[in-house]
Amino acid sequence: MDGLTAVPQRAPGRWQIADVEEIRVETPRTKTFRLRLPMWMPHLPGQHYDVRLTAPDGYRAERSYSIASSPLDEGVVELTIDRLDGGEVSSYFHEVLIEGDQVELRGPFASYFVWRGEEPVLLIGGGSGVVPLMCMLRHRRRTQPDLPMRLIYSARTRREVLYADELGDDAIVALTRELEGVPVEGLSRVQIGRIFPGLVAAEAFDSGLAFVCGSDRFVEPMASMLLAAGYSPDRIRTERFGPTG
């Protein structure tokens, strides 16, 4: 893909060209891309950027990716991207893009699924749905380390756990396809099996917000568990993702 065109820079509405500063492998199917923007502006934890690729024949593909990095990382954003089978944009990022390349993006966007410093906060993520929640967790650790924030994170296997070396005691990781008794290095709180109502109830707070991010089939039961744990609908923020056409 090429066709990057310089445009007047004015975030967040205008497209701008970012430099790929660093690429980190997170899991066998996931990488984090650190992008330096010419027109950077601080984001709210939970927001996303739109990414656009343009082919020589003018065909364009556009996707949205949540921001993983804290707003305190001035001048850059990090996007953690899961490689989807047949995914035009994710495949390009994983198979073609290298450090030193450039990509088009614009943002940050979203006003509903954002953390503005409310407390306490319960985060529930499934698979790559943990990305915007990790942004919230990272920012809290740097700005309000004593603020109560807990993460319940569901992944299939230990090899698919994102940010495993950062989760620490703030997170419970539920591994749905691991066997009992198998040691999981680097994770301090691990449960074998799916997230269940008792786990959500045990981690719930009497006040504050809950953020849930994942696929449709993940978000729906998690929202129901939160309601059963005493959260009113106005205290629950959800974000869903799914395959694109």
Domains of the chain in start order, with CATH, are 16-109 (2.40.30.10), 121-241 (3.40.50.80)
Assign 183 a pLDDT band (cuts: 50, 70, 90).
low
Residues 162 and 26 sit within 8 Å (Cβ to Cβ): yes
Q: Tell how strand 121-126 and strand 149-155 pair up.
A: parallel
Percentage of the chain lying above the pLDDT 90 cut: 79
| pLDDT at residue number 36 | 98
| pLDDT at residue number 55 | 84
Q: Is the pLDDT of residue 4 over 60?
A: no
Entry field: residues in the chain: 245
Assign 135 a pLDDT band (cuts: 50, 70, 90).
very high
Q: Is the pLDDT of residue 8 over 90?
A: no
Q: Return all residues near 201 (Cβ < 8 A) that are at least 6 apart.
A: 225, 228, 229, 230
Instruction: Note the pLDDT tens digit of each residue in 23-41.
Output: 999 999 999 999 999 999 9
Q: Is the pLDDT of residue 243 over 90?
A: no
- What's the half-sphere exposure (Cβ side, CA atoms, 13 Å) at 84? 16
Backbone angles phi, psi at 148, to 5 degrees: -65, 120
